C-alpha cells in the first residue's frame, strides 16, 4: 500500500518540510449537508481528513466529541449517510484521503464484510476503530489490507515494548500515537519533549511508518510537536462547531479559519 493516498499525503507534507495536518470532524455534525460542506472546505488546508461515524456510548471520547456525536445522532445520521458523505466528497476531492473513525459495534451491526465493501466503493482510504485493539483486530485489519484500505493501529503511552513491536509489525502505512493517558480533548498534561521521546521510540522501530500524534492538540500546542510525521486535531474543531452554533455564526467559515490557523502554525 506504499503508494496509497495516505502515504502520498505524508510525502507531500515532508517535501514542504512540515508535518501533515489531520482533522477530525463528526459526520452529520450538525447536519449531513453542513458536515460535508465543512469537510470540503477544511480539506483545502488539511492533508488527511478523519471522519467520525458517531456512537452514543463512546468509551474514549471527551466532552467536545461527545457533544458533536450527540448532535449528529439527534439529527438522524445513519452509517449509510456517512458513506454517502464520503462519496460526495470524493467526487470533487478525489486525491484527499478520508479516514473513517468510530466504535466497533457500529461496524459489527453493519457487518464487517459489508462495511469494508462499502468503504471500498465510496473510496474510504483508512479506518480507525477505537475499541478494537491488537490482537483482536488482526482479522479485521487483514480484511482491510486485502481491500487496499489502511487499518490504522493505535499506540499509547501504556503500550509495552514487546507489544509495540508486534503492533508496528502488523500496521499499515500509518500509526496513531495517543499523546497521553486521556480521552479526546483533554488538556495536554505531558510535556511535548516527553511525547516526542515516545514518538521517537516508535519511529526507531520502523522509519517507513508514518506516525501521527493525537489527543490534546490545539492551536496552542500544535507547534511544539511539529517534528512528527503528522498531527491530529479533533476536539478543538468540534468545540469550534459548538461555539459557532451557540453564537449563530457560520460554522463552515469558523471551522475553516481554525484549520487555516493550525496549518500556519506548523509551516
Is position 125 an interface residue for other proteins (rule: CB under 8 A)?
A: no
Near other proteins in 198-227, by CB under 8 A = none
Shortest Å distance, C-beta 112 to other proteins: 12
Buried b (16+ CB within 10 A) or exposed e, 58-74: beebbebbbbbbebbbe
Long-range CB pairs of 69-78 (<8 Å, 24+ gap) are 69/26, 69/29, 71/26, 71/28, 71/29, 71/30, 72/26, 72/27, 72/28, 72/29, 72/30, 72/35, 73/28, 75/28, 75/29, 75/30, 75/31, 75/32, 76/28, 77/27, 77/28, 77/32, 77/53
**Residue among 121, 165, 181, 197 that touches other proteins (CB under 8 A):** 181
Is position 104 an interface residue for other proteins (rule: CB under 8 A)?
A: yes
Task: With both helix axes pointing from N to C terminus, report the angle between 112-121 and 79-92 in degrees, rounded to the nearest 10.
Answer: 20
61 is catalytic: yes
Q: From residue 63 to residue 102, what is the string marking binding to other proteins with x (rule CB under 8 A)?
A: ---x---x--x----xx-----------------------
Near other proteins in 138-157, by CB under 8 A = 154-157
CA-CA distance, 20 to 163, in Å (whole number)? 26
Identify the active-site residue in 29, 47, 61, 125.
61
Shortest Å distance, C-beta 259 to other proteins: 26
3-state secondary structure 216-234: CCCCCCHHHHCCCCEEEEC
Shorter beta-carbon distance to other proteins: residue 157 or 257: 157
Looking at 57-65, 87-95, 241-249, 257-265, which segment touches other proteins (CB under 8 A)?
57-65
Shortest Å distance, C-beta 35 to other proteins: 17
CA-CA distance, 191 to 71, in Å (whole number)? 33
Is position 17 an interface residue for other proteins (rule: CB under 8 A)?
A: no
Shortest Å distance, C-beta 207 to other proteins: 22
Is position 45 an interface residue for other proteins (rule: CB under 8 A)?
A: no
CA-CA distance, 51 to 243, in Å (whole number)? 20
Is position 165 an interface residue for other proteins (rule: CB under 8 A)?
A: no
173 is catalytic: no
Which residues contact other proteins by CB under 8 A? 55-62, 66, 70, 73, 78-79, 103-106, 108-110, 130-136, 154-160, 163, 178, 181-183, 186
Amino acid at each position: 500500500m506504499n503508494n496509497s493516498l495516505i502515504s502520498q499525503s505524508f510525502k507531500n507534507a515532508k517535501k514542504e518540510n512540515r508535518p501533515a495536518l489531520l482533522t477530525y470532524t463528526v459526520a452529520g455534525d450538525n447536519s449531513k449537508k453542513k458536515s460535508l460542506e465543512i469537510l470540503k472546505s477544511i480539506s483545502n488546508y488539511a492533508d488527511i481528513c478523519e471522519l467520525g461515524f458517531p456512537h452514543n456510548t463512546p468509551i474514549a471520547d471527551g466532552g467536545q466529541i461527545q457533544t458533536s456525536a450527540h448532535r449528529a445522532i439527534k439529527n438522524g445520521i445513519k452509517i449509510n449517510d456517512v458513506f454517502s458523505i464520503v462519496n460526495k466528497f470524493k467526487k470533487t476531492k478525489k486525491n484527499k484521503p478520508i479516514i473513517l473513525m468510530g466504535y466497533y459495534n457500529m461496524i459489527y451491526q453493519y457487518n464487517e464484510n459489508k462495511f469494508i465493501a462499502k468503504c471500498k466503493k465510496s473510496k474510504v482510504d483508512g479506518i480507525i476503530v477505537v475499541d478494537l485493539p491488537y490482537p483482536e483486530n488482526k482479522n479485521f485489519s487483514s480484511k482491510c489490507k486485502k481491500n487496499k484500505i489502511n487499518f490504522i493501529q493505535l499506540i499509547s503511552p501504556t503500550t509495552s515494548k514487546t507489544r509495540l513491536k508486534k503492533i508496528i509489525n502488523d500496521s499499515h502505512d500509518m500509526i496513531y500515537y495517543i499523546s497521553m493517558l486521556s480521552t479526546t480533548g483533554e488538556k495536554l498534561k505531558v510535556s511535548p519533549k516527553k511525547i516526542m521521546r515516545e514518538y521517537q521510540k516508535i519511529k526507531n522501530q520502523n522509519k517507513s511508518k508514518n506516525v501521527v500524534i493525537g489527543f490534546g492538540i490545539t492551536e496552542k500546542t500544535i507547534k511544539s510537536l511539529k517534528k512528527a510525521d503528522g498531527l491530529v486535531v479533533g476536539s478543538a474543531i468540534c468545540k469550534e462547531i459548538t461555539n459557532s452554533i451557540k453564537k449563530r455564526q457560520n460554522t463552515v467559515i469558523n471551522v475553516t479559519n481554525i484549520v487555516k490557523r493550525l496549518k500556519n502554525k506548523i509551516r
